[in-house]
Amino acid sequence: MAGKTIVVTSGKGGVGKTTTVANLGTTLAKKKYSVVMIDTDIGLRNLDVVMGLENRIVYNLVDVIEGKCRKEQAMIRDRKLSNLFIIPAAQTREKNSINPEQMKELCSSLAAEFDYVMIDCPAGIEQGFKNAIAGADNALVVTTPEVSAIRDADRVIGLLEAAMLKDISLIINRLNAKMVKKGDMMSTEDIISLLSVPLLGVVPESDEVVVSTNRGVPLVHEKGSKAGAAFRRIAARLNGENLPPEESESNGFFGRMKRLIWN
Amino acid sequence: MSLAETPPVKVKADRNGLTLVPDPAATFEAITAFMDERLAQSRDFFYETQMVLDLRIRPMRTDEISALCEKLYKKSKVKVVEVRLSDDLSFSVEGDPRKPPVPKRDGREPGNSAPVIVRNTCRSGVRIVSPSDCLVLGDVNPGAEIIAQGDVVVFGTLRGLAHAGAGGERAARIWALSIRPNQIRIADLVAVPPRGEKPAPNRYEVAEIQNEVIQVITI
């Protein structure tokens, strides 16, 4: 059976797409699934840095699509997990070096060999975005609880629906529960009522993310990280497992989350 | 049928399939008789095909359209998968088919154009322009624009931009279950919501021009 192709997109930059792809991909690989992650942010590649595999890049996505190498030659195996691969983007090329049809072809051929194909989408809604969503059947929209990010997420969801990508889920990243309680930050409920897509999970704000990026080791490798635990739960839900919603300090929050996630 | 006459129906073939284009001068009876003949003559060619009915230059009444589609199906299992209509639908519903379509005039004419109905939430980036009224069955999210010559009715929360009476009609109104927009416009006037929280409406809200200013009435 063909694997799932999932694009992680957001519209707004810097909300956590690459971090999400790295951590979800790693978690799924730890569960023994074969995973390949594709960085489609040509010219501004980041996934290789976050995964700590920068020095190992010989071929990249554009080389594969132009036929300069086979896709196996471009796939870099993760240092810790033998069933996790990444196809890095090209840093010295531009986003119009590839087109949606070519991405679609590549993603189908990868889906035939892997359980999960995770596509890291660049910010924006232009050529890079169009390339990234072309090969995907499912979409994860990442947003932070902040007005501009939500505006952009709404736009992106509209574009995904227009492109007939019906399976869209939401991840709310960098939620600061204290600020929500104080009323300084939008709550999960506010966000869902505007965006109207099912919520896959919430990742709390965490300083550890920056540290893990700098080190090149995805957060989910560490025990005892709240953000890491959130990513692990999201990966489980992605995999079809029915997990109960996250706990939190306030009861009201728990009650609302329960209703939202069980939908 | 001699070559001097134009056939009552042109059968066009392109890479998408077959399109029937009835001639404006033809009567409905001539059209059906012609189709009968063609289907009988080239039975295998037409059998179980899908066709598009292009009624833009020669509109038909709805009962005529149904009759024609039924006949095509009965005779050769031809399925009419698309019916292309012109912008003016007024005499498809009630007019004399031999009368030419009413030419479009500038400005709004009361009560002759059906509203544009949008049956889902308008997300950011969506822009709807209606020559008459516009009805949205859902929310209008910030970043979406609804522009109508007539009224704008939102059966949900209006958070984006709504412009009623876009052609200058100051009597136009904006209705919504909840009006909390970025900006609303009626005719040539523009208004922004006041600062601060306001009480949630019990039933609905209406924006209209009163004394040269846009007012929002909460009910």
Give the tens place of pLDDT for each residue, B100-111: 544 444 444 555
Residue B109 falls inside a structural domain? no
Is B126 in the same domain as B82?
Answer: no
Nearest to B143 among A155, A161, A196 (CB): A155
Q: Please report the pLDDT score of residue B44 as a whole number.
A: 81
Judge if ipTM > 0.85.
Answer: no
| Two tokens, residue A150 | 């939500």
Residue B139 falls inside a structural domain? yes
Is B134 in the same domain as B72?
Answer: no
At residue B18 the predicted structure's pLDDT band, cuts being 50, 70 and 90, is confident
Q: Is A163 in the B-facing interface, judged by CB distances under 8 Å?
A: no
Task: Tell me which chain A residue has its CA closest to the CA of residue B157.
Answer: A194
Q: Please report the pLDDT score of residue B80 as a whole number.
A: 85
Interface-testing mutation among B124, B126, B157, with chain A (most A C-beta atoms within 10 A)? B124
Burial class (CB in 10 A: 0-12, 13-18, 19+), B218: middle
Q: Please report the pLDDT score of residue B101 as a whole number.
A: 47
Q: Which residues of B touch A161 (CB under 8 A)?
A: 123
A171 and A156 Cβ atoms separated by less than 8 Å? no
At residue B67 the predicted structure's pLDDT band, cuts being 50, 70 and 90, is confident
One-character DSSP codes across A172-230 = EEEE-HHHHHHTSS--HHHHHHHH-S-EEEEEE--THHHHHHHHT--GGGSTT-HHHHH
Is B122 in the same domain as B64?
Answer: no
Sheet holding B9-14, edge to edge: B9-14, B17-22, B50-54, B79-84
- What radius of gyration, in Å, describes the C-alpha atoms of chain B? 24
Is B121 in the same domain as B88?
Answer: no
Sheet holding B205-210, edge to edge: B116-118, B134-136, B152-158, B174-179, B205-210, B213-218
Residue B4 falls inside a structural domain? no
Report the CATH number at residue A109. 3.40.50.300
Residue B103 falls inside a structural domain? no
Residue B33 falls inside a structural domain? yes
Is B38 in the same domain as B123?
Answer: no
Domain residue limits at A213: 4-262
B126 to A196: CB separation less than 8 angstroms, yes or no? no
Q: Which parts of chain A sit beneath pLDDT 50?
A: 248-251, 263
Is B214 in the same domain as B126?
Answer: yes
One-character DSSP codes across A15-33 = SSHHHHHHHHHHHHHHTT-
| B159 vs A150: CA distance, rounded Å | 13
Q: State the pTM of this model.
A: 0.71
Residue B163 falls inside a structural domain? yes
Of B37, B58, B93, the domain-final residue: B93
Q: Please report the pLDDT score of residue B105 as a whole number.
A: 45
Residue B2 falls inside a structural domain? no
Is B122 in the same domain as B210?
Answer: yes
- By mean pLDDT, which of A192-196, A221-225, B148-152, B159-163 is the weakest? A221-225
Number of H helices and E strands in chain A, helices first, is 12, 8
Q: Is A157 in the B-facing interface, judged by CB distances under 8 Å?
A: yes
Q: Please report the pLDDT score of residue B104 as a whole number.
A: 46
Per-residue pLDDT tens for A42-101? Answer: 999 999 999 999 999 999 999 999 999 999 999 999 999 999 999 999 999 998 999 999
Q: Which residues of B touch A158 (CB under 8 A)?
A: 123-126
Domain tally, chain B: 2
Task: Tell me which chain A residue has its CA closest to the CA of residue B144.
Answer: A155
- By mean pLDDT, which of A100-109, B81-90, B142-151 is the weakest? B81-90
Is B120 in the same domain as B187?
Answer: yes
**Pairs of residues, one from chain A and one from chain B, whose beta carbons lie less than 8 Å apart:** 25
Q: Which residues of A touch B118 (CB under 8 A)?
A: none
Q: Which residues of B touch A155 (CB under 8 A)?
A: 123-125, 143
Q: Which residues of A touch B160 (CB under 8 A)?
A: none
Is B72 in the same domain as B161?
Answer: no
A75 and A114 Cβ atoms separated by less than 8 Å? no
Residue B88 falls inside a structural domain? yes
Report the CATH number at residue B134. 2.160.20.70
Is B134 in the same domain as B188?
Answer: yes
Domain residue limits at B70: 9-93
- Higher pLDDT residue, B135 or A243? B135
A237 and A201 Cβ atoms separated by less than 8 Å? yes
Is B42 in the same domain as B123?
Answer: no
Report the CATH number at residue B56. 3.30.750
Is B42 in the same domain as B134?
Answer: no
Region B32-51: mean pLDDT is 84
B177 and B157 Cβ atoms separated by less than 8 Å? yes
Domain tally, chain A: 1
